[in-house]
Amino acid sequence: MVKITPEVKKIIEENPVALATVDGKCKPNVNVVSFAKIVAQDKVLITDNYMKQTRENLASSSDVCLAVWDKDWNGYKLVGQAKYFKEGEWKKFVEEMPENKDFPAK
C-alpha cells in the first residue's frame, strides 16, 4: 500500500483532480473533480457532482486513476480501486462539506 504524503495531500486538496474510469467495454472516461479530500493515508474521498458516466463506470469496474498537478506542474498519479457510496458515513461527509454547499453532492 502506497501512503499519501503531506505534499501529495496538499496538491490533491488544493487543485482540481482528473479522475479516470473505464466502462465494461474498457472505454475510458475522464472527469474533472473539484473537491477531493484525503481521509486516510491511502484513501481519497471524491464528491460526485455531475459524474453520471463515472458513476456508471464504477458499477462495472472499480479500477481508477487519479491525476493532479499544481500551477508549477508538480504532479502525481494515483492508481487504485474506488467504491461508490450511496449512503452511510462517507455519503454524509460529502453532503456536509462546505465546498459542496451549492452543488448536488451525491
Domains belonging to the chain, first-starting first, are: 6-100 (2.30.110.10)
Query: What is the chain's length?
Result: 106
> pTM for the full model?
0.80
User: Cβ contacts of residue 37 below 8 Å, gap of 6+?
Assistant: 13, 44, 45, 97
Give the pLDDT score at 84. 83
Summarised one tens digit per residue, pLDDT across range 2-19 is: 789 999 999 999 999 999
For residue 18, list its beta bridge partners: 32, 67
Per-residue pLDDT tens over the stretch 22-64 = 999 999 999 998 888 898 999 998 877 678 899 899 999 999 9
